[in-house]
Amino acid sequence: MITVEADPFDYALPPGRAALVVIDMQRDFVEPGGFGASLGNDVTRLHTAIAPIAALLAAWRARGWPVLHTRECHRPDLSDLPLSKRDRGHPALRIGDPGPMGRLLVAGEPGADIVPALAPAAGEWVIDKPGKGMFWGTGLHEKLQAAGITHLVFTGVTTEVCVQTSMREANDRGYECLIVEDATESYFPEFKAAALAMITAQGAIVGWKAGSATLLRALNAA
């Protein structure tokens, strides 16, 4: 086991059985003209997570450890998109509408692609999910079990929505979860802070948190 200094107490990471999870670092959320911008958000707030995620990807790849990326997107015919999700609120564009990067949050469109700086490498899992959580409608739990993965290290966006939802789902399925503070981000800093506090409260009720430098230091020391 590799011991990582974390909050609320040390996190034990088993080499080879801890997958790095990169949640929804796709153009539709991170770049202008995508779904995140259509909701009126400042997408540049998410850019600070890119460099820490890239550093962690390099560390996992160097060790041959498992990596998985998720993308929130829907089938081109939108058959997996509930009307309650598509019709909610008053965005400038809705899911499935054409935008500067193709149809918003639709699989196969340029906006659904992971940003180039974090592009998946050959052999890494890419999970297309129709919901906020990475387990709903994806068969991911069975894939993780078959691969012997017991621990998940979470990064990506946004902290309080898709990352937290996926982490809570993972916790319910028995995975030991760590979120990397500077490798996740939100359009709303107060939401990120609240999500991190909720995750680690009551003795890591959902999981642990640590900074990327602390995690990398532990890996290099092992």
**Catalytic residue numbers, as ranges:** 24, 129, 162
Q: How far apart are CA 121 and CA 84, in angstroms?
A: 35
Query: Per-residue DSSP letters for 58-71?
Result: HHHHHHT--EEEEE
Any idea what DSSP says for residue 160? I
The DSSP bridge partners found for residue 18 are 151
Closest Cα partner for 72 from 146, 165, 190, 176? 165
Q: Distances from the Cα of 41 to the Cαs of 74, 80, 147, 186, 207, in angstroms?
A: 21, 25, 37, 10, 28
The DSSP bridge partners found for residue 106 are 74
Q: Count H helices and E strands in the chain, helices first.
A: 8, 10
Burial 165-188 (b: 16+ CB within 10 A, else e): bbbbbbbeeebbbbbbbbbbbbbb
Task: Compute the Cα dihedral for 189, 192, 196, 23 and give only its sign.
Answer: negative
